[in-house]
Structure 1
Amino acid sequence: MPRSLSCDAIVLATYNVGEADRFCILFTREYGKIAARASAARRIGSKLGSALLPFQRVQVELREWDNGYVITGARRHAACVGTETLPQFLAASEIIELLLMLLEEGEPLPDLFESVVEGLRSETSSPLPHTVRILHLLGHMPSTDMPHFSTFNVDEKGCIEEWIRGDCEKSPMLSAETERTLSSLCESILSDHAGKKQRVPGIKKSMMLAI
């Protein structure tokens, strides 16, 4: 018998399948990363269509079958992702891409879910503090007493430690050079664990040069 589930989820990505269905990659608070199909979500008048879009935080109703999940209902959460400006959109895109590259399916990570929600709602243009926090929660970020941070001063290490603990809205105390060094470290960690580089930072750099 299929099992009915209800969960708080962030839509990481969607893909159109068939004539009117939508295949969704979700990061849920209760079940971690899952893939689910929404039948007829792209038909005119479908209540699922407007809710099941990337960056949205939704409450989803699921039916779990032997061959996967089917979405039977979805409504947008009151606290939706802030992507009103281009910098916000690009920062959110980096966070989403990071999750798609690193998350394993079916592993509940409630602390990470809360951190991601905070990151996606942030009004700052840099996703770096949240990237540091996410990598830490996934067990990939080295501690600041490791050789990776030998060129960082005490204040800079303190700032990074605040980010690791979850205070990602703390005003950065990093010089432009140190921020570039930290960004390169995060990119290297991501590449080592995912086997490829993020695309969004390069796109963001090209867009900023064109503006």
Structure 2
Amino acid sequence: MSYSAVFDAIVLASYDVGEADRFLILLTREKGRLAARAPGARRLKSRLCPLLPLTHLAVELKESRGGFLVCGITPHHHHNPRVQHLQDFFVRMQASELLLALLSDGEPVPEIFEALSALLHHPHCAEQDTLAFTLRVLALLGVLPEITHRLFAPLSPEERSFVLASMRGTPVNEKISCTRLRSLCTQLVQEHCTRPLRSTDVAAACM
């Protein structure tokens, strides 16, 4: 028997399917990552039109034997600030691709949801924000080594402080050099992903 429930959700990815539907990968606070189909979402007058990547919404889902169907949405306008700069867009896309690569369906991690929500709401994102988010996610998933690990040996005291603050989800306001941290994060992510993240290369080529 099918039932419906409302979830706090962020759209990680959206794919066109059928004549007018969208297939969505959502990150929800309550159930973690899950897939859902939005019937008729590509029609111009559909109430489901706002279901686009990196939007934060309250999504009503109906669960049946065939999976989840979207039957209603309420956009959180205050959580969806307009992206003003290209770098902001790339930071958000890198965060989305990272979660698509690392998260499994049906394993809720509310702290990761909060971290992504905070990143989407950040007025001006920079590479430093991407690195902090990556370290936070890896720490929450339990795959980030302790700061005493040899991987962190080449880092300066300031860079180590950045890593520790990022692991705890503490905002870091001081500007730091991203070169070594970028290399470190790339290495750590590649150890847990089956393929390189494309958005990172695209961002580097365009910035």
TM range (shorter): over 0.9
> Match of 2:53?
54
Is the CA contact (8 Å cut-off) linking 1:190 and 1:196 kept in structure 2?
no
> Match of 2:2?
2
Identity of aligned residues (%): 37
> Match of 1:163?
166
Once the two structures are superposed, residues 85-144 of structure 1 have per-residue CA deviations (whole angstroms, 9 ceiling, x without a partner) of 111001101100101111100011111100111122222212111111111111122121
Is the CA contact (8 Å cut-off) linking 1:83 and 1:92 kept in structure 2?
no
Among 121, 132, 139, which residue is 1:136 paired with?
139
Superposed CA RMSD in Å reads 1.4
> Match of 1:71?
70
Q: How far apart, in 2, do the equivalents of 1:21 and 1:62 lie?
A: 15
Range moving further from structure 2, 97-106 or 135-144 = 135-144
Once the two structures are superposed, residues 17-71 of structure 1 have per-residue CA deviations (whole angstroms, 9 ceiling, x without a partner) of 111111110000000000000111111210101x200010010000000120000
Q: How far apart, in 2, do the equivalents of 1:80 and 1:139 lie?
A: 29
Q: How far apart, in 2, do the equivalents of 1:181 and 1:169 lie?
A: 17
> Match of 1:125?
126
Range moving further from structure 2, 134-143 or 58-67 = 134-143
Is the CA contact (8 Å cut-off) linking 2:155 and 2:180 kept in structure 1?
no
Residue 139 and residue 83 in structure 1: after superposition, are their counterparts in 2 closer, same or farther (change >3 A)?
farther
Provide the TM-score with structure 1 as the length reference: 0.91
> Match of 2:100?
100
Give the SS at the match of 2:33: strand
Is the CA contact (8 Å cut-off) linking 1:163 and 1:170 kept in structure 2?
no
Count, aligned residues: 203
Is the CA contact (8 Å cut-off) linking 2:2 and 2:64 kept in structure 1?
yes
Question: What are structure 1's unaligned runs of at least 5 residues?
Answer: none
Q: How far apart, in 1, do the equivalents of 2:55 and 2:154 lie?
A: 39
Give the SS at the match of 1:4: strand
Question: What are structure 2's unaligned runs of at least 5 residues?
Answer: none
Residue 82 and residue 102 in structure 1: after superposition, are their counterparts in 2 closer, same or farther (change >3 A)?
farther
Residue 185 and residue 158 in structure 1: after superposition, are their counterparts in 2 closer, same or farther (change >3 A)?
same
Residue 203 of structure 1, CA deviation: 0.7
Q: How far apart, in 2, do the equivalents of 1:85 and 1:168 lie?
A: 21
Is the CA contact (8 Å cut-off) linking 1:95 and 1:120 kept in structure 2?
no
> Match of 1:29?
29
Q: How far apart, in 2, do the equivalents of 1:156 and 1:191 lie?
A: 21
Residue 82 of structure 1, CA deviation: 5.0
Q: How far apart, in 2, do the equivalents of 1:137 and 1:96 lie?
A: 16
Provide the TM-score with structure 2 as the length reference: 0.93
